[in-house]
């Protein structure tokens, strides 16, 4: 699935996308926060001890219409620095507790707060970092026409094991036709993948081969990952391609 050569066609969204979806997000996130409150409390306490301080990781992300919001997650790495005051490499700062959170996706649990206050939706394109914005094509920027999601089509169809072009194609496919049935399908597939720990990658364990490709070894097999978007696309000229 690729976006190149395909122009995004913005459609008028139905009643579900315009009104019901947000109501469901609000109701389900509130219920989930109540149900998982003992887990959230326990992880907050354990995280405070494991990280020797603030257990939360807050990072700016572009949301709907590219408006920046603060995404909340559980911290998985310490803030250890070298003698010069620079952060140590990620693999040295990632704790056993952090690895557990990433493997189980429990580090994402505080994002329920983002859903409750309206920054996120349960389903939608995953919010990326602001520094990636210059590397989107005009077509791909339409992924920001809707609220980003806790999970999405790309996350249940390969996640880090598919190309950025495929990820954005799934994002645009979702944005062009948001339905209740599609959201339910994404939610059930996500639950299955989280419970089965499928396609959940700890990027700090990845290796770069002689050709510059990023990969991990999983069950004895080499699996290729996509590089960070700014590295893979290399320069801001990429965003001009579908305008020329």
The pLDDT tens digits of the residues spanning 45-61 come to 999 999 888 999 999 99
In a domain, 228, yes or no: yes
Average pLDDT over residues 103-125: 95
| Residue 171 predicted with pLDDT over 90 | yes
In a domain, 237, yes or no: yes
| Residue 206 predicted with pLDDT over 80 | no
Closest Cα partner for 110 from 170, 68, 155, 150?
150
| Residue 202 predicted with pLDDT over 90 | no
| Residue 236 predicted with pLDDT over 50 | no
Q: pLDDT confidence of 244, banded at 50, 70, 90?
A: very low
In a domain, 5, yes or no: no
Average pLDDT over residues 203-231: 70
**pLDDT: which is higher, 204 or 66:** 66
Average pLDDT over residues 118-137: 95
Q: How far apart are CA 104 and CA 39, in angstroms?
A: 13
In a domain, 116, yes or no: yes
Query: Tokens at residue 79, please?
Result: 């803030």
- The percent helix, strand, coil of the chain (3-state, each to 5) is 50, 15, 35
Average pLDDT over residues 211-220: 66
In a domain, 7, yes or no: no
Q: Identify whether the C-beta of residue 212 lies closer than 8 Å to the C-beta of residue 206.
A: no
In a domain, 211, yes or no: yes
Q: Identify whether the C-beta of residue 106 lies closer than 8 Å to the C-beta of residue 135.
A: no
| Residue 2 predicted with pLDDT over 50 | yes
The helix (run of H) or strand (run of E) holding residue 208 is strand 207-208
What is the average pLDDT value for the chain, to the nearest integer?
A: 85
Instruction: Look at residue 59 in the predicted model and tell me its pLDDT.
Output: 95
Instruction: Look at residue 243 in the predicted model and tell me its pLDDT.
Output: 40
In a domain, 10, yes or no: no
Q: How far apart are CA 138 and CA 39, in angstroms?
A: 41
- Which of 45-54, 65-74, 113-122 is the least confident region? 45-54
Please count the structural domains in the chain.
Answer: 1
**pLDDT: which is higher, 227 or 53:** 53
Bridge-partner residues for 121, per DSSP?
Answer: 149
Q: pLDDT confidence of 227, banded at 50, 70, 90?
A: confident
Structural domain harbouring 116: 15-243
C-alpha to C-alpha distances, 25 to 16, 48, 183, nearest whole angstrom: 12, 29, 11
Report CA torsion sign: 29, 33, 34, 39: positive
Burial 101-115 (b: 16+ CB within 10 A, else e): bbeebbbbbbbbbbb
Instruction: Give the number of other CB atoms < 10 A from CB of residue 190.
Output: 19
Q: How far apart are CA 188 and CA 28, in angstroms?
A: 14
In a domain, 48, yes or no: yes
Highest mean pLDDT among 11-15, 31-35, 51-55: 31-35
Q: Identify whether the C-beta of residue 109 lies closer than 8 Å to the C-beta of residue 135.
A: no
The helix (run of H) or strand (run of E) holding residue 5 is none
| pTM reported for the whole predicted model | 0.85
């Amino acid at each position: 699935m690729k976006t190149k050569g395909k122009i995004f066609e913005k459609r008028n969204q139905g009643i579900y996308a315009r009104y019901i979806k947000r109501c469901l997000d609000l109701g389900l996130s509130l219920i989930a926060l109540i149900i998982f409150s003992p887990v959230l409390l326990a992880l907050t306490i354990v995280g405070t001890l494991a990280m020797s301080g603030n257990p939360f990781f807050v990072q700016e992300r572009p949301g709907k219409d590219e408006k920046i919001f603060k995404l909340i997650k559980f911290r998985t790495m310490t803030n250890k620095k070298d003698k010069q005051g620079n952060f140590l490499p990620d693999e040295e700062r990632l704790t056993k507790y952090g690895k557990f959170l990433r493997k189980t996706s429990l580090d994402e649990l505080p994002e329920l707060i983002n859903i409750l206050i309206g920054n996120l939706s349960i389903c939608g394109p995953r919010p990326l970092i602001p520094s990636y914005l210059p590397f989107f094509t005009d077509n791909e920027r339409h992924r920001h026409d809707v609220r980003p999601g806790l999970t999405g089509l790309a996350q249940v169809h390969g996640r880090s094991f598919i190309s950025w072009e495929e990820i954005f194609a799934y994002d645009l496919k979702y944005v062009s036709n948001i339905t209740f049935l599609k959201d339910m399908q994404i939610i059930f597939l996500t639950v299955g993948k989280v419970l089965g720990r499928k396609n959940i990658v700890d990027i700090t364990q990845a290796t770069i081969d002689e050709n510059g490709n990023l990969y991990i070894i999983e069950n004895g097999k080499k699996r290729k990952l996509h590089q960070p978007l700014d590295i893979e696309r290399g320069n801001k000229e990429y965003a001009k391609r579908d305008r020329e």
